[in-house]
Amino acid sequence: MTERDADAAGVLRLLAERGETLAVAESLTGGLVAAELTSVPGASRSFRGSVTAYATELKRDVLGVDGELLAARGAVDAEVARQMAAGVRRVLGAGWGIATTGVAGPEAQDGQPVGTVHLAVEGPAGGKVATLRLNGDRADIRMESVRRVLVLLSGELVENGRAQDTEQNGGI
Q: How far is CA 45 from CA 1, 34, 40, 85, 138, in A?
A: 22, 14, 11, 20, 32
What pLDDT, on the 0 to 100 scale, is given for residue 171?
54
Section 41-62 average pLDDT: 98
* Full domain range(s) for residue 8: 3-164
What pLDDT, on the 0 to 100 scale, is given for residue 113?
97
Query: Does residue 39 belong to any structural domain of this protein?
Result: yes
Query: Does residue 171 belong to any structural domain of this protein?
Result: no
Give pLDDT tens digits for 31-41: 999 999 999 99
Report the C-alpha gap between 60 and 77 in whole angstroms.
Answer: 14
Query: Does residue 151 belong to any structural domain of this protein?
Result: yes
Query: Does residue 56 belong to any structural domain of this protein?
Result: yes
Cα within 13 Å of Cα(149), Cβ side: 35
What pLDDT, on the 0 to 100 scale, is given for residue 47?
98
Task: Assign 6 a pLDDT band (cuts: 50, 70, 90).
Answer: confident
R_g of the chain, CA atoms, integer Å: 16
What pLDDT, on the 0 to 100 scale, is given for residue 3?
52
Average pLDDT score, the chain: 93
Query: Does residue 57 belong to any structural domain of this protein?
Result: yes
Looking up residue 80, the CATH number of its domain turns out to be 3.90.950.20
CA dihedral 87, 34, 57, 113 (to 10 degrees): 110
Section 116-129 average pLDDT: 96
Query: Does residue 169 belong to any structural domain of this protein?
Result: no
Give pLDDT tens digits for 53-111: 999 999 999 999 999 999 999 999 999 999 999 999 999 999 999 999 999 999 999 89
| pLDDT for 169 beyond 60 | no
| pLDDT for 4 beyond 80 | no
Query: Does residue 170 belong to any structural domain of this protein?
Result: no
Query: Does residue 11 belong to any structural domain of this protein?
Result: yes
* Domain count within the chain: 1
The DSSP line for 8-58 is: HHHHHHHHHHHT--EEEEESTTTTHHHHHHHTSTTGGGTEEEEEE--SHHH
| pLDDT for 136 beyond 80 | yes
What pLDDT, on the 0 to 100 scale, is given for residue 164?
58
